[in-house]
Amino acid sequence: MAMESSEEQFRQGLSFLKDNNLEKATRAFEKAYKADKENAKYMSYYGMCAAMRWGEIGLGIELCTRAVKKEFYKTEYYINLARVYLKADNKKGAIAVLKKGLRFDPENDIIHEELVKLGARKKSILPFLKRSNPVNRFLGIFLRKTIPNAIDKIRKRERVLKKEEDEDVGI
Question: Is 35:7 a contact under the CB 8 Å cutoff?
Answer: no
Compute, in degrees rounded to 10, the torsion defined by CA atoms 110, 89, 117, 93: -60
pLDDT in tens, 117-135: 888 777 777 888 888 899 9
Confidence of residue 168 (pLDDT cuts 50, 70, 90): low
Q: Which burial class, exposed, middle or buried, applies to 150 when counting CB atoms under 10 A from its CB (0-12, 13-18, 19+)?
A: exposed
Q: Are residues 126 and 108 in the same domain?
A: no
pLDDT in tens, 33-77: 999 999 999 999 999 999 999 999 999 999 999 999 999 999 999
Q: Are residues 112 and 134 in the same domain?
A: no
Range of the domain at 150: 122-171
Alpha helices of 55-133 — where are they, by DSSP H? Answer: 57-70, 75-87, 91-104, 109-118
Of 87, 103, 120, which closes a domain?
120
CA distance 121 to 138: 16
Distances (CA, A) of 86 to 6, 92, 121, 145: 28, 9, 17, 32
pLDDT in tens, 76-98: 999 999 999 999 999 999 999 99
Question: Is 67:40 a contact under the CB 8 Å cutoff?
Answer: yes
pLDDT the model gives residue 167:
66
- Where residue 25 sits, what CATH number does that domain have? 1.25.40.10
